[in-house]
Structures are given as structure tokens and as C-alpha cells.
Amino acid sequence: MYELYTINKSQIAYTLAIIVILVIFQFVLKKAANRVGKRSEIHISRTRLMFKYINILVVLIAVFMLAFAWGVGLKDLSLIFSSVFAVIGVALFAIWSILSNITSGIILFFSFPYKIGDKIKIHDKEMPIIGVIEDIKAFHLHIITDDGELVTYPNNLILQKAVSLIQKDVYLDEGKDSL
């Protein structure tokens, strides 16, 4: 065991340093996302979704840095990552709408002016939608219409259509009436 340690002392030190740095990086990113979520009054479920994206980012960075620390050459590493990204690229091209909805979900987290509980109108030429935002997921919005119908509306389309705010915090207003 001691032999293993002495042979790989520098790699073990790099590994520990990388882990510490990435844990701090992850903590800072999560704090920033949490601060943005609180300041913008974003629902906690959307903030948790951003935490998942941050975890994925940190894991990808960790894999790259740890492979480099343990002696995988830059040529080998670039070959592996280019092959993986080529396969992922082909797969994502086949399902580009899912990727666009995830990207739109991230954009909505930071810049969507409407919150859960707001009554909105989506100005869609073929089928306008009026309802209350029940939830904002990674791929779509859940909107409850006045008829009680649940409408799932893709995130990428919500960024392309005009949206009007009809009433702010409908759920809170309903609670005031019942008191």
C-alpha cells in the first residue's frame, strides 16, 4: 500500500486538490443560483433543477481534470472526448427539440418574468391559451386553464410567442378570498 502511495504521490495530491477546488466551485455556483432564485422569487423546484445542471457540469469537468491528472495524454483525452461528443452530437441532433427545451428551461430560469401562480395569456395564432402557471419544468410549463384543463406548453415555444400577464399570484389571491 505504501508503495502505491509513493509511486502515485503527485497524482493523489492533484486528485485531492481537484476535488477540493471542484467542491468549492460547485458550492459557489449553487449559492449563486440560489441567490438568483431568491432575488427573482423563483420557485424552489426550478432552483433545484439548476442544481442538477450544476452537478452535471461539475462531474464533466472532474472527469476531464482527473483523467489529465492521472497521466492520460492530451491527444488521448481529445480523442476520447471528440468521439464521445460526436456520438452525443448525433444523438442530440436526432432529438434536438429536447435539447432546445432544456436550453430554454435554463433561459426561463434566469429571465422569465412570470412566476408560478401567475395567470397568463399565450398569444398563439392557432390556439391562444389563458391559464395559471402551475409549474415550470425542464421541458415545459404546466398551465391550468379556467376550465380546469392541464396544458403542457414547451419551453422553446414560450420564448417564441408573446405572453401577457393577466393577473399576478392567482393562488395567493384565492387564499385571501377564503380567509
- Looking at domain 113-178, its CATH class is mainly beta
CB 167 within 8 A of CB 173: yes
Q: pLDDT-derived band of residue 31, with 50, 70 and 90 as boundaries? A: very high
pLDDT of the residue at 94: 65
Q: pLDDT-derived band of residue 174, with 50, 70 and 90 as boundaries? A: low
**If you average pLDDT over every residue of the chain, what do you get?**
84
pLDDT of the residue at 89: 76
| Joined grid coordinates for residue 90 | 448525433
CA distances from 39 to 42, 47, 142 (A): 8, 12, 23
Sign of CA dihedral 66, 70, 74, 80: negative
CB 144 within 8 A of CB 150: yes
List, for residues 6-26, the tens digit of each pLDDT value: 777 888 899 999 999 999 999
Q: Does residue 170 register a pLDDT over 80?
A: no
pLDDT of the residue at 113: 84
Domain range summary for the chain, segments of one domain joined by +: 2-94, 113-178
CB 122 within 8 A of CB 158: yes
